[in-house]
Amino acid sequence: MNDYKVDDVRNVALVGHGAVGKTTVADLLLFQSGMTPRLGSVDEGTSLLDTDEEEIDHRISIASTLVHFDHAGHHINLIDTPGYPDFIGQVSGALRAVETALILLNAGHGVEINALRVSRMAQEAGIARMIVLNKCDTENIDYDSLLDSIRETFGSNCVPINLPVGLGADFQAVCDLVNFSEPPAEGTLGDPESTRQALIEAIVESNEGLLERFFDGEELSARELSANIPKAMAAGTLIPVLFMSAKTGVGVSEFMDAMSNYTLCPQDIQRMEQTKDGRSVVIDPSPEQPFVAQVIKTRIDPFISKMSYLRVFSGELDKDTAVVNVRTGKPVRINQLLDVQGGKQEPVDSVSVGDIFAVAKVDDLQPGDTLTADANGDGLSLPEIKYPHPVVGLAVEPKSQNDQQKISGALHKLEEEDQTFHVIHDEETHEMVMQGMSELHLKIMQEKLLHRDKVEVLTHQPKVPYRETIMASAEGSYRHKKQSGGAGQFAEVHLRVSPMPAGVDPETYFTKENFDHLRSYQYDPDLNFAFVDRISGGSIPNQFIPAVEKGVRERMKQGVIAGCQIQDLICEVYFGKDHPVDSNETAFKIAGSKCFSELFGKARPALMEPIVKIEILVPEECVGDISSDLSSRRGRMEGMQVSPGGYEIIQARVPLAEIMTYARTLSSLSGGRGTYDIELSHYEMIPPNEQSKVIEILNQARE
């Protein structure tokens, strides 16, 4: 696996929108390079990359797939990624593992939204980009409009390195602008001379020596230009554009040459890792340096069990070697190293810098984990891999009670495999909720549960986690007295409840100046709640104060007016009575709970709803419809940003209850060209005209 030098390695990711032909291109590259004797087909279900049952059934890529081949003296590791936004999380790990993102576009459709999104992700990852226009045999392609839209979306540094000779049915060849020794063929589109001049300018911009020679009027050789294209890509002065058709084969060999000659090697990008004290250190991508690798993906294989994919950024590793997981600080023994080719794996003896490989049955590994050779566990760590937030949720339960024990383990395996799929056990709504990027994403997860673990589930919209609070203060007492023969129960507590002031700093607010006879307080930042002990004269013995607090907290968890968690208030205990025989912790817990419940009902109780921050990326012509729809959902617009390629980003805050099924609406309003991201912002009061309706619905559900 490592019979080549680090500067001969090329790590690339095929990214882009759905249905642009990424997997078809990857299958073709394997065939053309001689790695496989037959050409795989997505449509026929014989692709060497889409091998999962769900991928074959739906004819789409769901997970990223690693393959490799050799071409023109270089070893190319290629990661094929899903194109549908529903599986965008698979792109995040892939981009961490590579130096170049190959953004595939359908020449007939132009720039589509997921291409814009993955390009931004590649830019944030600090890697180079190359744009590949596939399906150039499609009819009605306007060359000038296509190039204009690419430059508008990805930047003016997008320059063709070859030009199409004809398009549509006339697409018969490409004209190489780097090795430009002969007159262009008849039918070559664009202006070869001016385009080549723009290409040279983009290349020399990243090299001062070449720039001086260029301005002095010196002719630069094709060899010099070719050698400096990767440097220009790394510097961001050039994003090469290529033309091809995987269907007819035109431009494919030129694309393979470009992958080999122009994409970056591991030494072309400066990677950083962090020390424990937060300092950044440059990684030396050399086999002689200490071993550093990062987990980029997890796959649950039905036969091998858990597989973790890693990218080596420094050093070498032999099988049967112990390394350290920086996250846990614990040693991890790697007994077997696996060379991955699509759905197949072969054991190898060692791996080196630039390699992407897999290990099996190493349970304590998660995507993003850094592995080092540091035996003390003090190794440097690579930055975390950022994944998009799930935006759609479904409450889930097994269809059969027999699957009750199996469902948690089965869902956990899916969580390990997909970092944009989360399962939460909501203590407030008492539901198990699975969260994902879309309804399609969650549908695929249900299919995996059935295919892999034979677990069939029922789903429904999850409940909204409303919260209760108060808008006024109240104080009073409650006496709990029970006599049933023998020892009885007696406790009396006096409490005061009040709203928590906005922006309070607990350390400066809960003082004896603000609270008479203050003895102590307990502050819960998650609920913005404080329990204050103001007992004087021992009216309640010290050992019973925690019982009072426990009773209050239990009642807060159960709710008072609608069965929802209570937050944003202060509860003070300031007086009480006990009995030398009949008082105990149970009695004071009951008294605390009952007293709090009664006072809560007198303190103008109110219901709060979760508000989410939403960012919506849509074509600019859809902004009006989206804005109107958000207003109808009680949303508040907070701003808009212009995004490249005729898109805009709408920023707003909206009640969660209003966007539980927003994905369908956005798809309808934007013609499938919109995406969005949400995260919890805060809780706020439900409008008075809605409060009584929501409370009635919640209480009916409790009956």
Q: What tokens does 174 get?
A: 């490409």
The CATH number given to whatever domain includes residue 353 is 2.40.30.10
Same domain flag for 286 and 257: no
Please check whether residue 1 lies inside any domain of the structure: no
Confidence check: pLDDT of 703 > 80:
no
Give residue 700's pLDDT: 83
- Is 383 part of a structural domain of the chain? no
121 and 263 housed in the same domain: yes
The answer as to whether 387 is a domain residue is no
**Residue found under tokens 């030129």:** 254
Q: Tell me whether residue 109 is in a domain.
A: yes
pLDDT, average across residues 268-273? 89
Written as six digits, the tokens of 231 are: 């440097």
Report angle CA 454, 457, 461 to the nearest 5 degrees.
155
Residue 165 has pLDDT above 70, yes or no: yes
pLDDT at position 1: 52
Q: Which two tokens stand for residue 266?
A: 């591991």
Which residue bears the tokens 């850094």? 370
Tell me the C-alpha distance between 307 and 359, whole Å: 6
Residues 131, 27, single domain; the answer is: yes
Kindly state whether residues 117 and 216 are assigned to the same domain: yes
Which element (helix H / strand E) includes 203?
helix 192-204
Residue 185's SS3 state is coil
Q: Which of 463, 488, 520 delimits the end of a domain?
A: 463
Whether residue 584 is found in the same domain as residue 498 = yes
Token digits of residue 680: 């919890």
User: Per residue in 428-476, pLDDT tens?
Assistant: 888 999 999 989 999 999 999 999 889 999 999 999 999 999 999 999 9
- Same domain? For 289 and 234 the reply is no
How far apart CA 130 and CA 243 sit, in angstroms, is 11
What burial class does residue 2 get, using C-beta atoms within 10 Å of its C-beta: 0-12 exposed, 13-18 middle, 19+ buried? Answer: buried
Cα–Cα distance list, 188 to 143, 157, 176, 258, 485 (Å): 11, 21, 11, 19, 103
Coil vs helix vs strand at 98: coil
Tokens standing for 56? 């074959």
What gap in Å lies between CA 254 and CA 174, rounded to an integer?
Answer: 8
Residue 316 and residue 248 share a domain: no
Paired strand residues for 396: 459
Q: What are residue 321's DSSP bridge partners?
A: 334
Instruction: Give the CATH number for residue 585.
Output: 3.30.230.10
Asked, for residue 277, whether it belongs to a domain, the answer is yes
Question: Of 603, 626, 649, which residue is a domain's last?
Answer: 603
Among residues 245, 268, 291, which one ends one of the domains?
Answer: 268
Total residues belonging to the chain: 703
Please check whether residues 230 and 278 belong to one and the same domain: no
Report residue 144's pLDDT band, with 50, 70 and 90 as the boundaries: very high
Does 414 share its domain with 480?
A: no
Average pLDDT value over all residues in the chain: 92
28 SS3 class: helix
> 576 and 429, same structural domain?
no
Q: Cα separation of 488 and 189, whole Å?
A: 96
Tell me how far the alpha carbon of residue 523 is from its chain's centroid: 32
The pLDDT tens digits for 617-635 are 999 999 999 999 999 999 9
Where residue 642 sits, what CATH number does that domain have?
3.30.70.240
% residues pLDDT > 90 (the chain): 79
The strands making up 65-71's β-sheet, listed across from edge to edge, are 65-71, 74-80, 9-16, 100-106, 128-134, 239-243, 158-160
Q: Is 169 found in the same domain as 88? A: yes
Taking Cα atoms as reference points, which of 253, 230, 240, 246 lies closest to residue 102?
A: 240
pLDDT in tens, 526-540: 999 999 999 998 899
Tens of pLDDT, residue by residue over 541-593, are 999 999 999 999 999 999 999 999 999 999 999 999 999 989 999 999 999 99
pTM higher than 0.85 for the full model? yes
Q: Count the domains in the chain.
A: 5
Residue 311 forms beta bridges with which residues? 294, 356
Do the Cβ atoms of 606 and 685 come closer than 8 Å? yes
**CATH assignment at residue 426:** 3.30.70.870
Sign of CA dihedral 451, 453, 454, 457: negative
User: In terms of domains, do 658 and 579 share one?
Assistant: no
Most confident of 213-217, 258-262, 276-280: 258-262
Contact 174, 243 (CB under 8 A): yes
Residue 379 domain flag? no
Dist CA 58 CA 86 (whole Å): 13
**Burial class (CB within 10 angstroms; exposed 0-12, middle 13-18, buried 19+) of 665:** middle
pLDDT of 361? 87
Q: Can you point out the beta strands (E) in 525-671?
A: 529-533, 565-566, 569-577, 605-619, 636-643, 647-655
Only one residue has tokens 């550093």, namely: 292
Helices within 572-679 (DSSP H only): 585-602, 623-632, 662-670
Q: What is the pLDDT of residues 41-52, one digit of tens each?
A: 998 889 999 988
* 662-684 per-position pLDDT tens digit: 988 999 999 888 999 888 899 99
Q: Where does 245-368 have alpha helices with state H?
A: 252-262
- Range 95-132 burial, b when 16+ CB lie within 10 A, else e: bbbbbbbbbbbbbbebbbbbbbbbbebbbebebbbbbb
pLDDT in tens, 484-505: 766 789 999 999 999 999 988 9
Give the whole-angstrom CA distance, residue 118 versus residue 254: 24
For tokens 């986690």, the residue is 465
CA pair distance 173, 622, nearest whole angstrom: 38
pLDDT digits (tens, 9 = 90+) for 354-383: 999 999 989 889 999 999 987 655 568 899
Q: Does residue 594 sit within a domain?
A: yes
Determine the pLDDT at residue 569: 97
| Residue 688, pLDDT score | 86
Give the model confidence (pLDDT) of 239-256 as tens digits: 999 999 999 999 999 999
* 384 within domain boundaries: no
Strand order in the sheet with 344-348: 330-334, 321-325, 370-372, 292-301, 305-314, 356-360, 337-341, 344-348
Segments forming the whole domain that contains residue 452: 392-463
